[in-house]
Amino acid sequence: MICLIRANITDCEEIHALQVKSFQALLDKYNDVSTNPAAESVERISRRMNQNFTDYYFIQLHGRHIGAIRIVRLDNSICRISPMFILPEFQGKGYAQQTIAKVEALYPQANGWELDTIKEETNLCHLYEKMGYKKTGKEETLQDNMTIVYYAK
Q: What is the CATH number of the domain that holds 84?
A: 3.40.630.30
Q: Could you give the number of structural domains in the chain? A: 1
Burial readout 115-137 (b: 16 or more C-beta within 10 A, e: otherwise): bbbbbeeeebbebbeebebeeee
Query: Which residues, given as ranges, of the chain have pLDDT below 70?
Result: none
pTM exceeds 0.85 for this model: yes
Q: Is residue 76 part of a domain?
A: yes
pLDDT value of residue 48: 97
Q: Is residue 75 part of a domain?
A: yes
pLDDT value of residue 76: 85
Task: Provide the domain limits for residue 89.
Answer: 3-112
How far, in whole angstroms, is CA 26 from its chain's centroid?
14
pLDDT value of residue 75: 87
pLDDT value of residue 128: 98
